[in-house]
């Protein structure tokens, strides 16, 4: 993440990957003669996801420009992760958030990360399994962000960390080939990104951690290209389902009543009150309240934080 993206870290959550291609360089040559099955076709799925991310950003930016819609509201309408709305039943935001980006630099950095790791993972797992890994990683990243980060978020980084998590499963299955292909580089890159996420304000590191875990679990669930291990997969799939079911239940209890309505005004946590316009007040200033549904349509100003 670099400071040339001129933004206030209290506006929206998003992140860049601090990666370089050196850890992936020469990977194909390293396993070319190894006893491992690879998908022989070009990485069409990776390129499709890259194109989709760019297309969504272009459409969102075009609509925002034509109709004079602020970036915050563009992200809101297109499906960014907003905890209160997910708790109200808009679970689809866990999925759509992974295709949204906060500005062109955010898009470029995540696109570069996907371009580096996507073809490798797609070759190791095949196209259908790659899609499953990418989507489950993004969903797991959104789920962890939903549970542990109060700030709205958008970005593909959870899914991208999931690709790196899937390579850890490859290490588990083919340790010698992994060592020749990656050495310690992948661990260094993961460590740098996670450390950077903890020290840099405005980064939703829970999305990274969730994506990394999700990618490893998803890879265990689907296996490598043409790998057959049904007994282990059933257990992992059950674990993934339990994590999502429990996470959504906890999140609903945690966020279902965070925003309340009182006398034509809105009661919110104190740290959020400063982001909203007139009519918003911290909980402790509210004498009574009733539940408010569909809160987003009434929000104004900068209510996003930069983090996923």
Contact indicator for 138, 155 with CB cutoff of 8 Å: no
User: What's 201's domain CATH number?
Assistant: 1.20.1540.10
Are 217 and 291 in a shared domain?
no
Mean pLDDT over residues 212-217, rounded?
Answer: 98
Segment 29-53 shows an average pLDDT of: 83
Instruction: State the average pLDDT over residues 46-62.
Output: 97
Between residues 89 and 5, which one has the greater pLDDT? Answer: 89
Pair 33, 51 in one domain: yes
pLDDT score at 308: 43
Residue 107 located in a structural domain? yes
**Residues making up the chain, counted from first to last:** 308
Same domain assignment for residues 79 and 117: yes
pLDDT given for residue 29 in this prediction: 52
Q: Quick check: is 134 in a domain?
A: yes
Give 91's pLDDT tier (boundaries 50, 70, 90). Answer: very high
Enclosing domain of residue 289: 260-298
Spatial strand order of the sheet with 290-291 comes to 280-282, 265-268, 260-262, 290-291
Positions annotated as catalytic residues are 157, 208
Q: Does a structural domain hold residue 279? A: yes
| Average pLDDT, integer, range 154-166 | 96
What average pLDDT does range 96-124 have in this prediction? 94
Please tell me whether residues 200 and 213 are part of one structural domain. Answer: yes
Least confident of 47-51, 157-161, 269-273: 269-273
Mean pLDDT computed over every residue of the chain: 79
Residue 16 within any structural domain of the chain: no
**pLDDT of res. 35:** 66
- Would you say residue 41 lies in a domain? yes
| Residue whose entry in the numeric block shows the structure tokens 């930016």 | 61
Number of domains in the chain: 2
**Same domain, residue pair 240 and 269:** no
Q: Assign 3-state DSSP to the chain and report helix, strand, coil percentages, each to 5.
A: 60, 5, 35
* Residue 304 placed within a domain: no
Q: How far apart are CA 204 and CA 305, in angstroms?
A: 9
Residue 297 DSSP code: G
């Amino acid at each position: 993440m670099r400071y040339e993206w001129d933004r206030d870290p209290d506006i929206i959550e998003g992140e860049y990957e601090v990666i370089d291609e050196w850890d992936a360089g020469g990977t194909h040559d390293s396993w070319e003669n190894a006893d491992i099955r690879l998908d022989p076709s070009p990485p069409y799925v990776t390129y499709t996801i890259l194109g989709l991310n760019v297309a969504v950003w272009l459409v969102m930016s075009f609509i925002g420009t034509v109709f004079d819609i602020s970036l915050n509201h563009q992200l809101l309408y297109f499906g960014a992760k907003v905890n209160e709305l997910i708790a109200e039943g808009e679970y689809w935001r866990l999925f759509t958030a992974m295709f949204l980006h906060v500005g062109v630099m955010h898009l470029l950095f995540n696109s570069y990360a996907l371009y580096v790791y996507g073809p490798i993972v797609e070759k190791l797992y095949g196209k259908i399994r790659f899609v499953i890994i990418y989507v489950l990683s993004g969903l797991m990243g959104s789920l962890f962000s939903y549970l542990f980060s109060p700030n709205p978020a958008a970005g593909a980084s959870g899914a991208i960390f999931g690709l790196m998590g899937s390579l850890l499963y490859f290490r588990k299955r083919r340790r010698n080939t992994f060592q020749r292909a990656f050495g310690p580089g992948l661990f260094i890159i993961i460590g740098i990104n996670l450390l950077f996420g903890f020290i840099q304000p405005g980064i939703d590191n829970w999305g990274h951690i969730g994506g990394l875990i999700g990618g490893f679990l998803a890879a265990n669930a689907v296996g490598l290209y043409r790998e057959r291990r049904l007994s282990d997969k059933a257990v992992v799939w059950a674990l993934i389902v339990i994590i999502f079911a429990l996470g959504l239940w906890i999140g609903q209890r945690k966020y279902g009543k965070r925003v309340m309505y009182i006398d034509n005004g809105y009661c919110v946590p104190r740290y959020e009150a400063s982001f909203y316009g007139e009519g918003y007040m911290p909980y402790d200033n509210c004498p009574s309240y009733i539940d408010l549904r569909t809160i987003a349509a009434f929000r104004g100003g900068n209510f996003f934080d930069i983090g996923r």
